[in-house]
Structure formats: structure tokens, C-alpha cells
Structure 1
């Protein structure tokens, strides 16, 4: 499966567009729509800049990685909304967190409601509950349940 345009817009909305590299709050340098590594594999560094067109390219490149992760790790059938919610989750938290999550275990057991409830547990950065993550997880959960 591939992320729909609505799914891409969801990710863009939560990530926001930043044309100058910034610390994501937990020490990870980020640019564009949440990119931490350029398409060539080099990590983003302080002081770097990009254009909106480059940010879009970085996002599209990043999506391939996270779509592949969801497609490979999820064994249960998904609708487009569920896939988009999972790609947004994985875009934000990474493949390793999806792989080790109770969300994935419940989903692969076809416990869709149980899996949906797991989204809300992923609301912290650096050990602190973040209001932006609370909102993102609520939105992802709602989309997953559609």
C-alpha cells in the first residue's frame, strides 16, 4: 500500500514545514517536514537549509521507508485510513518502535480496537507528555478507526 494524499497532508500538518534545521526537542536535528536523514543517508545537521521543493522531496523519500515498514510488519488486512494512520505513527516514532509495540502485536492478532487504543500511549518525548503528541495520537487513532 501507499500513503494517500490525505495521509500525506496529515503528516505535513503535524510535522510542519521548517526550511532551516532545528532540534526536534530531544536532540535530533530535523528539516523540512520532519526529515532527519537526507535521501543520500546523511543526517541533518545544525545550520542546514532547504527549499519547500526539497522538503517535499525529502518527505516523499522518507515515506518510502515508513510505507515499507508498515507493509512488511503488519500482517492483518488494512483499509487506507488504517494504513495512513500507521504510516503517520511510524513516520513520527520510527520503524523500531512500531516493530516492538503492543499496537503491532494487537493489530497482527486482528484486535483492531485494541490496537487503536495503543496509539494514545505514545504521547511522550524525552519522558514528558507533549500536547502536540497527544493531539497527533488522537487524530491517528480516529483515522485508524474510520
Structure 2
């Protein structure tokens, strides 16, 4: 596989170059994708010692995202095709592990390797967003994982009341906020309700650690 397009895509998403640690982590994720294995951990992407640095999502967060995103529209040959948003019946079209954006629409088909590589790239980007939003606020790994899953699905980490309550140290209040984000297209969706409950449970686990 030519890895340059993947690295170029992640570089554009991050709007910067890579450290040696990040190159090694992305290489490992691509290797796993080529073996047909699920992306299991990006813990080594940034190796945080200072909470103000960009953090990496852990294995529990990745498992939660994969559980709820799934690989919908899996074809007999192992590839996946795009599907419409369940709330709108159309945009945004989604493919693989919940990927959306330019170039994804009716008729889009990806290999499993492409889906896994996109997940690895997106997790780096969404973890960076969450790191910027929470700054140096005390945050356990489980809390961080729950926040990344929430942001991966909603894109709302920068504006959510949930984030403000977390920054204030009101962990119980932040946990309660997850349940409010269970609508799409103006309708309550059972899948979103289950996902928010799972994220809240993971966040609560980290709050009591």
C-alpha cells in the first residue's frame, strides 16, 4: 500500500507535520488495517506527560466508538459502502467507522483498510480537539475517552455545556449532560440514547478513579 496519501491526509487534518512517535503510531495503525485487524489503540500517538499537551484516546474509548459506529453496509467482498444519516435520510452520508465529509456520498465504497486508516487519522484529530477544549483541567483517561467519543459523534466539544461543566470540575453535572445529545433531525434516536449512556458510564468511571 502506498502510505503517502494517508500521511498527507492526516497532515492536512492536523495542519502540521509529524513527530517520530506519531509516524510510528500511524505506521502501526496502517499495518493493523492491512492485516484486517481493528484499530485497537492509539496510546502511543502522543505519549502525554503534561496534560496541556495533545492527548491520545485509549483502548476503551476506541472500543466504544467502534461499537456504536460499526461497519454498516458491509459488502460480501469485505468493503463498505456509504449510507445516509438516520436522522435526515440524507446528508451527512457516512462510511466505515462513522467517517463523513467531502467525497463521501451515495455510491462511495471503501476497502476495510481505507476505513481503518481513516479511523486512525480521525481519532488523532478529534483527540487534539478535545485536548484544546479541556486545556489543563484535571481529566482521567476514561473521562478523556468519553469526551473524544462524544466529540467524534457530535463535533460539539468546543460549544457544549458538558465541556464547561467538566472545566469547572462539576463532574456529576457534566455526566448528566451526555443524555441531552440524543437527537438527530429533531428526533430522539434510540441508538444515540444508548451511546450517550455508554459515554456517561465511561466518564463516571473516570470521575471516581
Deviations 1:110-137 (A, max 9, x none): 1111111100100000010000000000
Q: Distance in 2 between matches of 1:46 and 1:64?
A: 27
Map of 1:52 onto structure 2 = 112
Structure 1 portions without partners, runs of 5+: none
Deviations 1:61-115 (A, max 9, x none): 1111110110000132111110110000000001xx2211110111111111111
Whether 2:145 is the aligned partner of 1:84: answer yes
Q: Which residue of 2 aligns with 1:107?
A: 166
Q: Are positions 1:9 and 2:78 aligned together?
A: no
CA shift for structure 1 position 52: 1.2
Per-residue deviation, 1:48 = 0.9
Of residues 122, 129, 144, the one that matches 1:69 is 129
Between structures 1 and 2, the one with greater strand share: 1
Q: Normalising by structure 2, report the TM-score.
A: 0.65
Counterpart CA distance in 2 for 1:30 and 1:43 is: 10
Alignment of 1:23-38 (within 5 A): 23-25=84-86, 26=88, 27-37=91-101
2:203 maps to which residue? 144
Distance, in Å, in 1 between the alignment partners of 2:99 and 2:103 is 9
Which structure exhibits the higher relative contact order, with contacts defined as CA atoms closer than 8 Å and separated by 6 or more residues? 1
CA distance in 2 between counterparts of 1:10 and 1:101 reads 20
Change (3 A) 1:82 1:22: same
Number of residue equivalences? 140
Spell out structure 1 runs of 4+ moving beyond 3 A: none
Higher helix share: 1
TM-score (norm: length of structure 1): 0.92
